[in-house]
Amino acid sequence: MASEPVCVEDFESYLEARVSDWLWSFYRSGADREQTLRDNPLAFQRYRLRPRCLRDVSQRDIGTSILGHRLSFPVGVSPTACHGFVHEDGEVATAKGVSNAGSAMILSMWSNKSLEDVAASVKPDTPLLLQLNLIRDESGRLEAVIRRAEAAGFKALVVTVDQPVTGKRIHTRRKKIDFDPTAYSFPQVLLPEEKMTAEKAGELLDGTQVLTWKDILWLKEITSLPVVLKGILTAEDAKIAVKHGAAGILVSNHGGRQLDGVPATIDVLAEIVDAVRGSNVEVYLDGGVRKGTDVLKALALGARAVFVGRPALWGLAYDAEKGVQKVLEILKDEFSRAMALCGCSSVADITSDYITTPPYGKV
Ligand SMILES: Cc1cc2nc3c(=O)[nH]c(=O)nc-3n(C[C@H](O)[C@H](O)[C@H](O)COP(=O)(O)O)c2cc1C
């Protein structure tokens, strides 16, 4: 393996080396021909920066906030399932790394650690948000999880809206499961007497999601936590989200794992920012963020913050909580450096003046 990682992509091979063949495929894969998976990081390279020079950038304020909660820089961790398959400390290790870096974490409902254990492992000022799939809920398990999240001090619920069924991940389907999922706990999705199997996951996700806008209203009624919608990709849906009282929109294509052939998230960000203008809805982005300049580009196009999915898993594989922290600190350093090189001394300075597309005039 390479020497000490110096950029986010350097961590990826540590995950491949650490997990089984099927699991590596599970973490890496996108849906169908993986066009969107490939396009997410590539699309950032179609935008160029318009730097300003001879400004005093010796002191830079790279901090921001989401939903009123402070982040030391505008990058958080997106929800990814099953950190316990990568490291025995699972999401607790991830959360500690996030907390030490002054970042925020959206905990997947499909985590192997309980939301209470994750909450107990972070500093009090670390924003934790809980991701939910609104699965059919005769047993009341969803409402129980929401009450637990409220009691544990989670700051928001992040509802995944791009998964009415699960995307067809061909690469993973071709492989034989080579580990025992029943050996892991899923304290948010399973009742104590249930075990996780491929069939159980399918039953919970594929057959039973009956999510519509009505359910967002239901959610708003039963909780006072802010609701963020994750997976909106059009101005039309962004406007409906505003009407339904969303506090935030996470522009996401699920890291290319759901509908293949949708645009890279950075390519639809401006349309969504435009659609919610005049409301209080905050817009975030995930998908393919790997460089400090990617963060700056997303902020220039109107995102309040960005999130990373796979890179946190790579960091977890590299060195548990320290690895997650290291991935985030690298992004923090790169973002601060990119701000200086663009002539920005605070996050508020980053506007669309700093970004361009061919033929490279001002947009
Ligand atoms: C292995 C894996 C598991 C994921 N699990 C979830 C999940 O449980 N809930 C969810 O809303 N999104 C999930 N996602 C999508 C991520 O939240 C995020 O949108 C995506 O990873 C961002 O792209 P990136 O990996 O290029 O940073 C998952 C993604 C991966 C790669």
User: Does the annotation list 55 as a binding residue?
Assistant: no
Mean pLDDT is lowest, of 194-203, 241-250, 305-314, for 194-203
pLDDT confidence of residue 85: 97
User: Does the annotation list 288 as a binding residue?
Assistant: yes
Has residue 74 got a pLDDT over 70? Answer: yes
pLDDT confidence of residue 106: 99
List the structure tokens of 103: 């970042």
> Considering the chain, what percentage of its residues have pLDDT values greater than 90?
88
Question: What pLDDT, in 10s, does the model give residues 82-100?
Answer: 999 999 999 999 999 999 9
Cβ of 76 closer than 6 Å to ligand 1, yes or no, is: no
Q: Residue 139 — pLDDT band, cuts 50, 70, 90?
A: confident
Atom of ligand 1 nearest to the CA of 253: 19
pLDDT confidence of residue 191: 85
What is the Å distance from ligand 1's center to 286 Cα? 9
What is the Å distance from ligand 1's center to 79 Cα? 6
Contact between residue 96 and residue 312 where contact means Cβ atoms under 8 Å apart: no
pLDDT confidence of residue 340: 98
Taking alpha carbons only, the member of 29, 44, 265, 5 closest to residue 273 is 265
> Considering the chain, what percentage of its residues have pLDDT values greater than 70?
97
Mean pLDDT of 130-147: 88
The whole-angstrom separation of Cα 91 and Cα 254 is 19
Mean pLDDT of 272-293: 98
Taking alpha carbons only, the member of 220, 86, 208, 78 closest to residue 141 is 208
Has residue 20 got a pLDDT over 60? Answer: yes
pLDDT confidence of residue 209: 61
Which residue out of 69, 87, 171, 254 is catalytically annotated?
254
Cβ of 79 closer than 6 Å to ligand 1, yes or no, is: yes
Determine whether 254 is an active site residue.
Answer: yes
Overall size of the chain counted in residues: 363
User: Mean pLDDT score of the chain, rounded to an integer?
Assistant: 95
Taking alpha carbons only, the member of 3, 11, 33, 40 closest to residue 297 is 40
Q: Residue 193 — pLDDT band, cuts 50, 70, 90?
A: confident
Q: Residue 37 — pLDDT band, cuts 50, 70, 90?
A: very high
SS3 assignment for the chain: CCCCCCCHHHHHHHHHHHCCHHHHHHHHCCCCCCHHHHHHHHHHCCCEECCCCCCCCCCCECCEEECCEEECCCEEECCCCCHHHCCCCHHHHHHHHHHHCCCEEEECCCCCCCHHHHHHCCCCCCCEEEEECCECCCCCHHHHHHHHHHHCCCCEEEEECCCCCCCCCHHHHCCCCCCCHHHCCCCCCCCCCCCCCHHHHHHHHCCCECCCHHHHHHHHHHCCCCEEEEEECCHHHHHHHHHCCCCEEEECCHHHCCCCCCCCHHHHHHHHHHHHCCCCCEEEEECCCCCHHHHHHHHHCCCCEEEECHHHHHHHHHHHHHHHHHHHHHHHHHHHHHHHHHCCCEHHHCCHHHEECCCCCCC
